Amino acid sequence: MVNKDTLIGELLQIDIGTAPILMAAGMHCIGCPASQAETLEEAAMVHGLAAEELVDEINRYLEKKKAGENEASAEGAE
């Protein structure tokens, strides 16, 4: 789980699949070195977004992906 204090750089290291979520939110500068040190809250504020909504969307994505991985792992164990 991530929170509003998670750095953009950390988030992308956790799961690069979060990049499309950030891009869809208008954060096209995620590759910029300066953005890597910004928190999700700071980035959301700069782009006029609600940080909690962005964090919730990212966490839903991560939870769904994890659930899918757990399902695949359980199927492989059978």
Count of H helices and E strands in the chain?
Answer: 4, 0
| Domain 8-77 belongs in CATH node 1.10.15.40 | no
pLDDT recorded at residue 77 = 63
pLDDT recorded at residue 34 = 84
pLDDT recorded at residue 4 = 97
Helix, coil or strand: residue 39:
strand
pLDDT recorded at residue 20 = 96
Q: Are 25 and 19 in contact (CB under 8 A)?
A: no
pLDDT recorded at residue 48 = 95
Q: Are 8 and 36 in contact (CB under 8 A)?
A: yes
pLDDT recorded at residue 21 = 96
Q: What's the CA gap between 58 and 52, in Å, rounded?
A: 10
| Residues of the chain with confidence (pLDDT) below 50 | none
Domain spans in the chain, listed from the N-terminal domain onward: 8-77
Q: Are 40 and 6 in contact (CB under 8 A)?
A: yes
pLDDT recorded at residue 78 = 64
